[in-house]
Structure 1
Amino acid sequence: MDFGRLITALVTPFDDQLRVDWAGFEKLMDYVVNEQQSDSLVICGTTGESPTVTEEEKLKLFEAAVKHAGGRYKIIAGTGSNDTAHSIHLSQAAEKLGVDALLLVAPYYSRPSQEGMYQHFKAIAESVSIPVILYNVPGRTGVNLDADTTIRLSQIPNIVATKDCASTDQLTMIANGAAEGFRVYSGDDSATLPALSVGAHGIVSVASHVIGKEMKNMINCYLQGDVQGAAKLHGKLLPVFRGLFNCPYPVPNPAPVKFALNHKGISVGGVRLPLMNVTEKEGQFIASLFE
Structure 2
Amino acid sequence: MDFGRLITAMVTPFGEDGEINWEATSRLVDYLIEEQKSSALVVCGTTGESPTLRDKEKLQLFSFVKNQAAGRCKIIAGTGSNSTQHSIEMTRDAEALGVDGVLLVVPYYNKPNQEGLYQHFSAIAAATSLPCILYNVPGRTGVSMSAATTLRLAEIPNIVATKECASVDQVTQIVTGCPEDFYVYTGDDSAGLASLAVGGYGIISVASHIAGAQMHEMIEAYNAGNVRQAGALHRQLFPLFKGLFECPQPLPNPSAVKYALGLRGIDVGSVRLPLVPPNEEEAAFIANLLK
Aligned to 1:210: 210
- For residue 56 of structure 1, what is the aligned residue in structure 2? 56
Note the 1:137-152 alignment, pairs <5 A. 137-152=137-152
- 2:74 match: 74
Aligned to 1:26: 26
- State the secondary structure of the residue aligned to 1:46: coil
| SS state at 2:148 partner | helix
Structure-1 residue corresponding to 2:155: 155
Instruction: Write the distance in 2 (CA, Å) between the matches of 1:261 and 1:280.
Output: 17
Give 1:66 deviation, angstroms. Answer: 1.2
Structure 2 contact 12–20 (Cα < 8 Å) conserved: yes
Give aligned pairs, total: 291
Task: Supply the distance in 1 between the matched residues of 2:2 and 2:288 (Cα, whole angstroms).
Answer: 36
Specify the SS of the correspondent of 1:48.
Answer: coil
Q: How does 1:31-46 map to 2 (within 5 A)?
A: 31-46=31-46
CA distance in 2, matches of 1:26, 1:132: 25
Flag as ranges the 4+ runs of structure 1 deviating above 6 A. none
1:79-228 pair list within 5 angstroms: 79-228=79-228
Q: Secondary structure at the match of 2:47?
A: helix
TM-aligned CA deviation for residue 20 of structure 1: 0.1
Q: Return the letter of the residue paired with 1:72.
A: R
Percent of matched pairs sharing the same residue: 58
2: CA distance between counterparts of 1:28 and 1:225?
32
Letter of the structure 2 residue corresponding to residue 235 of structure 1: R
Secondary structure at 1:200's aligned position in 2? Answer: coil
Q: Deviation at 1:69? A: 1.4
| Contact 2:33-2:72 within 8 A present in 1 as well | no
Alignment deviations for residues 215-268 of structure 1 (CA, whole Å, 9 cap, x no partner):
111111111111111111111100000000000110000000000000111010
- Between the aligned partners of 1:136 and 1:276, the Cα distance in structure 2 is 25
1:232-243 equivalent positions in 2, closer than 5 A: 232-243=232-243
Aligned-residue offset at 1:42: 0.2
What code does the residue aligned with 1:91 have?
Answer: T
Aligned to 1:203, the other structure's residue is in SS state strand
1: CA distance, partners of 2:178 / 2:77: 23
| Equivalent position amino acid for 1:83 in 2 | S
**Counterpart-to-counterpart distance in 1, 2:58 and 2:5:** 25
For residues 163-188 of structure 1, the C-alpha deviation after alignment (integer angstroms, 9 at most, x for no partner) is: 00001110001011012200000000
User: How far is 1:50 from its partner?
Assistant: 0.1
Return the letter of the residue paired with 1:185. Y
* C-alpha distance in 2 between matches for 1:165 and 1:253: 14
| Deviations 1:29-62, CA, capped at 9 Å, x for gaps | 0001100111100000000000001000000000
Looking at structure 2, the residues matched to 216 and 21 of structure 1 have their Cα atoms a distance apart, in angstroms, of 28
Compare 236-245 and 67-76 and name the one that shifted more.
67-76
Distance (whole Å) between structure 2 residues aligned to residue 157 and residue 71 of structure 1? 24
Match of 2:220, SS state, is helix
Give me the whole-angstrom Cα distance separating, in 2, the residues matched to 1:236 and 1:283.
Answer: 21
Structure-1 separation of matches of 2:143 and 2:274: 22
Which residue identity lines up with residue 167 of structure 2 in the other structure? S
TM normalised by structure 2 equals 0.99
Query: 2: distance between equivalents of 1:182 and 1:101?
Result: 14
**Greater Cα shift, 219-228 or 251-260:** 219-228
Question: Structure 1 counterpart of 2:230, which letter?
Answer: A
* Deviations 1:45-85 (CA, angstroms, capped at 9, x unpaired): 00000000100000000010111112221000000000000
The match for 2:7 is 7
For residues 214 and 180 of structure 1, the distance between their equivalents in structure 2, rounded to whole angstroms, comes to 28
Paired position in structure 2 for 1:250: 250
* Matches of 1:264 and 1:179, distance apart in 2: 41
Question: What SS is found at the alignment partner of 2:29?
Answer: helix
Residues 133-183 of structure 1: per-residue CA shift (max 9 Å, x gap): 000000000000100000000000000000000011100010110122000
Partner of 1:17: 17
- 8 Å CA contact 2:118–2:153 kept in 1: the answer is yes
Question: Matched residues in 1 for 2:150 and 2:7: separation?
Answer: 20
